[in-house]
Structure 1
Amino acid sequence: MKFPKFKDTILFENNDLVVVNKPPFISSLDEREGGGMSMLRLAKEYTPDAQVCHRLDKETSGCLIIAKNPEAYRLISMQFERRKVKKVYHAIVNGTHQFNQLDVNLPILNLGNKNVAISRQEGKAAETIFNSIKYYKHYTLIECQPITGRMHQIRIHLASQRAAIAGDDMYGGQAVLLSNIKRGYRLGKDQEELPIMKRFALHAKEVTFMINDEDTITVSAPYPKDFATLIKLLDKFDV
């Protein structure tokens, strides 16, 4: 897999911080098994003291805040801890869903090995607010605002509403095939149809945080190619 130049992913930069548009299929931090490129490694090549301030799932694209020095890392970490960072994600989900400030407040239990479950007894508090942005015949574009930051939070909260993210087979999401949305679409003989998007459709669209004691900034990440292509095809064929 071809990795982008770190410089080409930068959305915002000052002396203390850099916000990048993380490409899909690159992990935020080094994976336990070792090997494989990570955003942390790419960042350290760019600025040696780099620290990643939060995580995005490997398949998730979008805004990732990276500190260039320990003071900046502390500043951002404290904001995450106090839930002062506003995060906005976009997801394409299976089915048509009318969410208007839907507040999902379901505790999440980390089962280890990258598995989580909803557990009212043992889970940690987890809250996400959902709003529908655009309706298609078979799918909906959803804005997701996680108030807390639990692992797989948006994914499992959407699945709890029977609105699994397209392509998220871990939580029951079906991949989008062109034959699902384009009438009269025919595959050639012996051809196997591949999903339009080879990952689950989740993108960290926007992040708002304080860059010092006085100034707040909002950084927005454009959709990567695969997400933009899926939207374009839904606009064309699934209306």
Structure 2
Amino acid sequence: MKDDKPKVQFIEIADDFEGQRIDNFLRARLKNVPKSMIYRVLRKGEVRVNKKRIKPEYKLQAGDLIRIPPIRVPEQENAAPVSTKLDKVAELENCIIYEDEHMLVLNKPSGTAVHGGSGLKFGAIEALRALRPQARFLELVHRIDRDTSGILLVAKKRSALRMLQAQFREKTVQKYYFALVMGEWKPSCRKITAPLLKNEVNSIVRVNPNGKASDTRFKVLEKYPNATLVQASPVTGRTHQIRVHCQYAGHPIAWDDRYGDRRFDAYTAKGGLSRLFLHAANIRFVHPATNESMELNADMGPELVRALDYLRKRS
């Protein structure tokens, strides 16, 4: 008879996980365990490192021995492993635009979340782990919205994750997005610094003087009747930053279900568009191992290309 009773786990920390917070380590390892349960066992001292109680912010050291108590996950929380036979998972293999032993870069499709949760069985990171079962370490370096397509960096080593995230914090990473916006964007509007405040209940972001400082740079790429293709480069990394700054400027992005304009959506639908026209097209950063400057480009999907071709013909 199979014994399904959860057991105590002992895990020795490898070099790749040195410097990671214990709470984040547990959340990544205990995939189906609710976050509240993880923090509860941490607070109660049931998780031990080298036989000692630790706080959630404790940073792991190579060689640490972690004791994880038996944790029973409610049946409804259990999820089957992500299958590589699913079309959405298998297709991601063709979306990898760069890979070496330190990192992987994905041209994420629109509609694919970066990670599972909130009703989603899996996201890009879970799918990549299924495609790379031999990889000991795969973690998101940053995030982009579910409906935004384009460049997504994934670290394959803890050292690479630390170095790449440090570049994001220090704002030395340059990211460039393509966005199709409503109306004629004036070339003189090159920067928007409106502060942004997120509503924690519904995740809607608004311009608010009490919000966090936010900075997006813009450049006009192409003009069409009643529309403009702009390049947007976020200096800060706030939630929905480009989308809200475009709305604030009076030029919402096509097919933005939160901050868009339905009349503009109907106009662009004539060109076959039915998704958010926001694409992370280019990124520049320093390779975490070689220290060489890198520049990567991600092609726009066929739906975006067709929409622009339609607008060019109208011009």
Instruction: Report the TM-score when normalising by structure 2.
Output: 0.67
What secondary structure does 1:25 align onto?
A: coil
1:234 paired to 2:300: no
Q: Which AA in structure 2 matches 1:232?
A: D
Alignment of structure 1 residues 15-54 onto 2, 5 Å: 15-35=101-121, 37-45=122-130, 46=132, 47-54=135-142
Per-residue deviation, 1:78: 0.7
**Equivalent residue pairs, number:** 223
How far apart in 2 are the matches of 1:224 and 1:173? 22
- Which structure has more strand as a fraction of its residues? 1
After TM superposition, which residue ranges in structure 1, 4 or more long, deviate above 4 angstroms? none
Per-residue deviation, 1:116: 1.1
Identity %: 27
Instruction: Report the TM-score when normalising by structure 1.
Output: 0.87
Per-residue deviation, 1:98: 1.9
Matched with 1:185 is none
Label 1:95 to 1:194 Cα distance change in 2 as closer, same or farther (>3 A).
Answer: closer
1:77 paired to 2:154: no
Q: Which AA in structure 2 matches 1:43?
A: L
Match of 2:297 among 213, 217, 220: 220
Q: Which has the larger radius of gyration?
A: 2
* Cα distance per residue 1:43-72 (max 9 Å; x no partner): 212234111111111110000001011111
Per-residue deviation, 1:131: 0.8
Per-residue deviation, 1:167: 1.2
Match of 1:94 among 178, 182, 199: 182
How far apart in 2 are the matches of 1:156 and 1:233? 26
Q: Is the 8 A contact 2:197 2:206 kept in 1?
A: yes
Per-residue deviation, 1:34: 4.1
Q: Which AA in structure 1 matches 2:208?
A: S
Per-residue deviation, 1:196: 2.1
Matched with 2:198 is 110
Unaligned runs of 5+ in 2: 1-85
How far apart in 2 are the matches of 1:65 and 1:100? 32
Label 1:79 to 1:106 Cα distance change in 2 as closer, same or farther (>3 A).
Answer: same
* Cα distance per residue 1:184-219 (max 9 Å; x no partner): xxxxxxxxx887222221000101111136211011
What secondary structure does 1:65 align onto?
A: strand
Matched with 1:57 is 145
Per-residue deviation, 1:114: 2.3
Per-residue deviation, 1:171: 1.2
- 91-100 vs 64-73, greater mean Cα deviation: 91-100
What secondary structure does 1:43 align onto?
A: helix
Q: Is the 8 A contact 1:176 1:196 kept in 2?
A: no
What secondary structure does 1:117 align onto?
A: strand
Q: Is the 8 A contact 2:271 2:306 kept in 1?
A: no
Label 1:65 to 1:38 Cα distance change in 2 as closer, same or farther (>3 A).
Answer: same
Matched with 1:12 is 98
Per-residue deviation, 1:138: 1.1
Q: Is the 8 A contact 1:100 1:130 kept in 2?
A: no
1:173 paired to 2:267: no
Q: Is the 8 A contact 1:93 1:173 kept in 2?
A: no
Per-residue deviation, 1:176: 4.0
Higher relative contact order (CA 8 A, sep 6+): 1
Q: Is the 8 A contact 2:185 2:220 kept in 1?
A: yes
What secondary structure does 2:238 align onto?
A: coil
1:120 paired to 2:206: no
Q: Is the 8 A contact 1:206 1:218 kept in 2?
A: yes
How far apart in 1 are the matches of 2:148 and 2:281? 10
Match of 1:209 among 285, 288, 297: 285
How far apart in 1 are the matches of 2:287 and 2:309? 34
Label 1:233 to 1:124 Cα distance change in 2 as closer, same or farther (>3 A).
Answer: same
